[in-house]
Structure formats: C-alpha cells, structure tokens
Amino acid sequence: NHQVRLAARPTGTPGPEVWEHTSEPVPVPGPGRLVVRVGHISLDPAMRGWMNAGRSYVPPVEIGAVMRALGFGEVVASEHPDFAVGDTVTGIFGVQSYAESDGSGLQKVTPSADVPPERYLALLGMTGMTAYFGLFDVGALAEGETVVVSGAAGAVGSVVGQLAKIKGCRVVGIAGGPEKCAWLVDELGFDAAIDYRTEDVRKALRTAAPDGIDVYFDNVGGEILDAALTRLRRGARVVICGSISTYNATEPPPGPSNYMSLLVNRARMEGFVVFDYADRYGEAATELAGWLAQGRIRSREDVVDGTVADFPDVLLRLFRGDNTGKLVLRLTR
C-alpha cells in the first residue's frame, strides 16, 4: 500500500519537500470495517487549505498523516454488514492505494458504459453538489438573471455556468486562455467568456454583462472578485465558493477594495461549505443525473493516469490552470 503523507506545512506553492512517500502492507479489515482499493483520486484546490495549520471548516491534515483526498474505489475485503467485496464506492480515502474504513461517509455508486467512475468525483460528486447548492441555494438564482462565474472552465465553474443556462440565464465565464474561453461558448453554450490573462476583466464585464450582474459565483478571489464587484446590480448575490488565486499566497491578499458596491446595490456576499448540504445530496444528484441523461448538461473530466507518487505534481496543475473540467488522478498501480 503506497501512500503520500504530509511531511511539513508548506509556505507558498507546495514543493516536493512537504511530502513523504511511504509503503505499508495492504490493510486487513477488522470487525465492522472494510478495505477499498483506490482507483481514482480527486484533486481539489481545497487540499491546499487542508495542509495549513489553524482553524477551518475541517481539521488540518496532521504532519505525518496520509494526505486527505476524496476518491473512488472498489471494496476488496469486508467485515462490514452493508458492504460486499466488489461494491464500488466514493469516500474520503486519502492519497494511498488502499484505504481501510468503517463505512461512514461512503457512498455506493454504479459506473456503467455511459458513466465512467471519475464522473462520481465530478458532476455526480462533490463538484456537482458545490455548483448546485452554491448557485441555487446560496446564490438564490432566479430565471433570466445574469450570472458571472470565475474559474469557469474548471470543475465547479463549468457546472455552474451550465446550470444557469438551464435556468434561462445570461451566463458569462471568466477563464484563463483562448481554448478554455472557446470551449465555454462553443461547447457549453455560455453567452460570453472573458480571458482574464489577456483582457481587462473590468472593461470586458461592461461589454459582456451590460446590465450588470445578479449572481457572481466566485471561485478565484483576488482582482477578479474586485472587478466583478464593480458591476453588481441592485440585490445582487456574490457567492464565495473559493479563492484559488490566494491559496498559495505568502502575504495576506489585499481586501476587495470595491466592497462598498454591496451597500450601493443592496447586495450580499456569502460563503458556504458544500459539506453542510450532505443531507440534500440525493436531491441534487437525482436532478443533475437527469439533466445529464437528457443531454442538457455535460461533465468533463481531465483524467491523468499515474501512481500515488504522482499526486504532488498532479495537484499543482490546478494552480497552473492546466486542467479543463474536473482533475482526477487515475491509478495505474
């Protein structure tokens, strides 16, 4: 059983020095427990936050512990009444090739010819849940509104934009690079896309959302958030989903200087954590799977084949913007 453990807390971008690679015998399940052979590991920007000490919405990964990660795998040994060998499951298995579990938080899923395993870490997993509850509950989206989403060609962002299109909204995506922007407009049906690497976002928003923004779904924070604040409409909702542009910062990021737009426009800004919606995942999964089957929404997964040892490098792709859609490491063992 190969593992990647957190060896030290990173400053800035996590380099190889923060990781330790270990190997142990494959675990044997005790009574009421099971063992999963991990097939796919989800790469999440939030992992960077889990590596930091201090209070957050989950405890930090301890030094020396296996790095926390969501994953997909197959039950290979079970002493648990609810799980049989051969069951396929998602859960928090960590960055390792085998995980032992008491079954809590595990979800049985059934991949098929139409639905590959990685989709249960994407549209049909935490990514889809985040987009769904962030946009509909926190964002309180109404039909026909104007939605702007940053990180738009990423896992969550690409789902947010498509959900808003289903609700008849005008959708503007902000993403890095011409290929990503073309994909959003040509393939996913976004009304416009802004390449933040080459365009002045504030100016481009004036053209792309001439009547202003009703919902700004923020995945990146920083200057892009600040630019979006200048274009709010009266009663706008700013959904704070994430702030990837600041996750590796070594200095505290500057505050959004345009926050008084919230006052002027009687707008609100609200953060959320998807885990708080766990008791409603079923509702969202059913609706998302329905739209997927009807061809009204697409799930794109960016699958990288490799071993557990490749995790540290693959994680950095998120911060370079190498991924389009949901980044997943598929273990070749």
- Contact pattern from residue 88 through residue 127 relative to ligand NDP, giving x for each residue in contact according to CB under 6 A and a dash for the rest: ---------------------------------------x
Q: Which of 18, 38, 44, 214 binds ligand NDP (CB under 6 A)?
A: 44
Nearer to ligand NDP, 29 or 325 (CB): 325
Nearer to ligand NDP, 106 or 138 (CB): 138
**Least CB distance to ligand NDP at residue 72 (A):** 15
**Least CB distance to ligand NDP at residue 201 (A):** 10
SS (H, E, C) 106-134: CEECCCCCCCCHHHHHCCCCHHHHHHHHH
- Contact pattern from residue 301 through residue 320 relative to ligand NDP, giving x for each residue in contact according to CB under 6 A and a dash for the rest: -----------------xx-
Looking only at the bridges linking them, the beta strands covering 88-92 and 146-150 are: unpaired
Taking each helix axis from N to C end, the angle separating 201-208 and 222-229, rounded to the nearest 10 degrees, works out to 40
Residue 216 backbone dihedrals phi, psi, to 5 degrees:
-110, 115
Q: Which of 109, 175, 193, 329 binds ligand NDP (CB under 6 A)?
A: 175
Rounded CA separation 148/130 (Å) = 16
Nearer to ligand NDP, 44 or 191 (CB): 44
CB atoms within 10 A of CB 267: 20
Q: Which of 123, 156, 209, 238 binds ligand NDP (CB under 6 A)?
A: 156
CA-CA distances (angstroms) from residue 255 to 93, 243, 244?
36, 12, 15
Nearer to ligand NDP, 299 or 323 (CB): 323
Q: Is 64 left (phi over 0), alpha (psi -120 to 50) or beta?
A: left
| Long-range contacts, stretch 47-51, CB < 8 angstroms, 24+ apart | 47/315, 48/10, 48/14, 48/247, 48/248, 48/315, 48/319, 49/247, 51/6, 51/9, 51/10, 51/14, 51/18
Contacts with ligand NDP by CB under 6 A: the residue count is 30
Rounded CA separation 228/148 (Å) = 8
**Which two three-digit tokens encode residue 170?**
């005008």
Sheet with 146-150: strands ordered across? 192-195, 170-175, 146-150, 213-218, 232-240, 268-271
| Angle in degrees, CA 310, 315, 318, rounded to 5 | 140
| List of E strands, 196-320 | 213-218, 232-240, 268-271, 301-306
Q: Which of 45, 91, 125, 128 binds ligand NDP (CB under 6 A)?
A: 45
Q: Which of 39, 71, 154, 312 binds ligand NDP (CB under 6 A)?
A: 154
User: H or E stretch including 160?
Assistant: helix 155-166
Q: Which of 69, 138, 153, 269 binds ligand NDP (CB under 6 A)?
A: 153
**Least CB distance to ligand NDP at residue 272 (A):** 6
**Least CB distance to ligand NDP at residue 92 (A):** 13
Q: Which of 78, 97, 101, 323 binds ligand NDP (CB under 6 A)?
A: 323
Nearer to ligand NDP, 75 or 126 (CB): 126
Q: Which of 6, 67, 155, 232 binds ligand NDP (CB under 6 A)?
A: 155
Q: Which of 36, 241, 315, 331 binds ligand NDP (CB under 6 A)?
A: 241
The answer to the question of residue 193 lying near ligand NDP (CB under 6 A) is no
Footprint of ligand NDP (CB under 6 A): 44-46, 127, 130, 151, 153-157, 175-177, 180, 219-220, 241-245, 272-274, 318-319, 321, 323, 327
